[in-house]
Amino acid sequence: MTEEQRNLVSILLRVGSVLTGLLGWHYLAVAVIKDPGILVSPVEVVSKAYEMMVTTGELYPHLFASSIIFFYGFVLAVLVGVPLGFVMALSPLVRDYVNPWMTTLYTAPRIAFAPILLLWFGIGAGSKVAIVFLGCVFPVLINSYYGMRVVNREYVELARSYRLDRWALFGKILLPASVPFILAGVRLAIGRGLTGVAIAEWFGATEGLGYLIFFAGQTLNVPTLFVGVAVFAALGIIGFEIVRRVEKFATPWRGQTQGS
């Protein structure tokens, strides 16, 4: 197969996957389950989404609330995670000091922290941002740490051979070498951050996509439930696409970036 043929096959497979998935879902809902209280057809989800976005516009306050929470938690996680990961990579003392807590917090189920954070930060934005932060910070931190730890020794030797000082070693070698790792961490953080938003908004929220889903589930409003889930999925896809573009821009030297 030529390159072009492979690309065509790749595109056809992806489109085909989406179409067959939606058709299967539709068939399952309309012909097999036949109970809109359990599963609704994608057609109904789309029409509900249309209603919420165009007719009533009721989706937007939720979308906006969730986006703000996500944004603050995510940005804070990057601002804390990247430098802390670097410092841990460069200083064994800091690493040993931080490690026990990092391991504990990272491996404990985040949902268990939600009530505690709620208690500390109240039911406002603070606790929600904290939950999102907790979800995002570890992948970013761990990847920044490893990115800097696994820098090719040849490059470090090169820097020493040409007598770069420690700042130049950091800025010209270690940092650029870590960028792909950091971006991979950011990619993971997007998924975990969105999960964080959903969890955060299940506890004592009055708006947001998580609240929307939770409330729709409680009131057996299945179409709205699916709209909420679909919007979360869409946010994840958009986030991944943004990171992919940043990757392409920030690391042009990698030639072909990994497929989406």
Applying CB under 8 A, which residues contact another protein? 154-155, 157-164, 168, 172-173, 176-177, 179, 251-255
Contacts of 257 (CB under 8 A, 6+ apart): 244, 247, 248, 251
Which lies closer to another protein via its Cβ, residue 76 or residue 156?
A: 156
Which lies closer to another protein via its Cβ, residue 3 or residue 218?
A: 3
| Alpha carbons 126 and 205: distance in angstroms, whole number | 12
Contacts of 173 (CB under 8 A, 6+ apart): 151, 155, 156, 158, 159, 164
| Alpha carbons 16 and 159: distance in angstroms, whole number | 50
Which lies closer to another protein via its Cβ, residue 75 or residue 175?
A: 175
Min dist CB 251 to another protein, Å, is 7
Min dist CB 155 to another protein, Å, is 6
Min dist CB 172 to another protein, Å, is 7
Min dist CB 25 to another protein, Å, is 43
| Alpha carbons 127 and 31: distance in angstroms, whole number | 44
Report which of 146, 224, 237, 232 is spatially closest to residue 187, judged by C-alpha positions. 237
Which lies closer to another protein via its Cβ, residue 83 or residue 171?
A: 171
Give alpha helix (H) positions in 91-124.
Answer: 92-107, 114-121
Min dist CB 169 to another protein, Å, is 10
Which lies closer to another protein via its Cβ, residue 55 or residue 161?
A: 161
Min dist CB 252 to another protein, Å, is 7
Min dist CB 156 to another protein, Å, is 10
Which lies closer to another protein via its Cβ, residue 125 or residue 158?
A: 158
Which lies closer to another protein via its Cβ, residue 114 or residue 184?
A: 184
Question: Which of 28-63 are b and which e, b meaning 16 or more Cβ less than 10 Å from the residue's Cβ?
Answer: ebeeeeeeeeebbbbebbeebbebbeeeeeebeebb
82 φ, ψ (degrees, to nearest 5): -65, -55
For the chain, how are helix, strand and coil distributed in percent, rounded to 5?
A: 85, 0, 15
